[in-house]
Amino acid sequence: MPEIETKEIAKDVFQIDTLLLGIPHFCAVYLIKGEKLALMDAGDHTTADNVLAGLKKVGVAPQDISYIFCSHIHLDHSGAAGQLVERMPKAQVVVHERGARHLIDPSKLIESYGNLGGDPTLRKLLRPAPASQVVTVKGGETFSLGRDKTVQVIATPGHAPHCASYFYSQHRGLFCGDSVGIYLAEEKVLMPVAAPGYDHDLALSSLKAMASLPVESVFFPHWSMHKNVKDIFAFAQKQWSEWGALAEGLFKAGKADQIEEKLRERARKDIRAVEGRKSLYDYMIGDLISLSAQGYKLCFERKAARG
């Protein structure tokens, strides 16, 4: 069992390193200690034990967790929800209505997203969350974690249709899932990710909507918390717009088959600072770019079909 790093990154907010794909500082689950305890995301189905080890390290018993707020249902964020609720009998799994049924019956998740990274034999770890513990939301709902501590749901579709971000009153903190992209704090690298189901126009309008909130800290699952909120949203707007324009331009010119190669070329420049972390760099340049190329292509095909 690897040593799990935990850090109180803001008062009563603990960052647990899930060690996704064995890579440190790439995928976090956050624990909020209000009068009620909440997890922001569950992490991947292959790292549930790491989350439990992290909770143990910060002195929290799984059975005391009241909520798991899922940013979206991609496996690296919610794959562990089923396993975790088996240990968290009173936890409610909060998830966008577009994704809820796939947490209750994960068979489709395996088909649509299961090949990305990791060992396919580990898919048996993907367990259903009982419907009685799943709460569906569509945006606008508020949950209380105790006096003056609320979590508000904000629908932020784009990266996927089932994306929700969560605004936590205590730090005016936004838990943004993948809706702002992968932002690696230590390297200051921001990379958009377009999964199948991606909608470019919605991604840009969600970014705008998030930037207009009174946010003082942004908590990224990939990776860490950032306080220079204005700069991050400006950087994100630039990256998501430019990557989308690159893909859309190729698509419209009948060169959709070049999207993957051109995005990879662009990524090599944008994420150069990550080169020293070889397994992370290879994953981002490899699997994630292939996934994004697919996401952009499908998005612009749908858009063209709509006319």
- Contacts with Zn ion by CB under 5 A lie at 74, 178
How many CA atoms are closer than 13 Å to the CA of 231, on its beta-carbon side? 8
Our CB check for Zn ion shows the closer of 74 and 96 to be 74
Which residue in 46, 193, 190 sits closest to 122, CA to CA? 46
Tell me which DSSP letter residue 58 carries: T
Nearer to Zn ion, 33 or 74 (CB): 74
Minimum CB distance to Zn ion, residue 193 (Å): 6
Shortest distance (Å) from residue 101 CB to Zn ion: 18
Nearer to Zn ion, 74 or 297 (CB): 74
Of 54 and 99, nearer to Zn ion (C-beta) is: 99
In this structure, which amino acid lies at residue 234? A
In angstroms, give the least distance from the CB of 72 to Zn ion: 6
Of the two residues 113 and 300, which places its CB atom closer to Zn ion in the complex? 113
Helix axes 289-306, 200-211, angle to 10 degrees: 110
Biggest distance spanned by C-alpha atoms of the chain: 57
Smallest distance, Å, CB 179 to Zn ion?
9
Shortest Å, Cβ 253 to Zn ion: 28
Work out whether strand 13-17 and strand 28-33 pair parallel, antiparallel, or are unpaired. antiparallel
* Beta carbon nearer to Zn ion, 17 or 53: 17
* Smallest gap from residue 186 Cβ to Zn ion (A): 20
Q: Which of 121, 130, 244, 233 is nearest to 174 (CA)?
A: 233
Q: Residue 286 gets which letter from DSSP?
A: I
Outline where DSSP puts E strands in the chain.
6-10, 13-17, 28-33, 37-40, 65-69, 92-96, 134-137, 142-146, 149-155, 164-168, 173-175, 182-184, 189-191, 217-220, 224-226
**Which residue has its beta carbon closest to Zn ion?**
74
Strands ordered across the beta sheet of 217-220: 142-146, 149-155, 164-168, 173-175, 217-220, 224-226
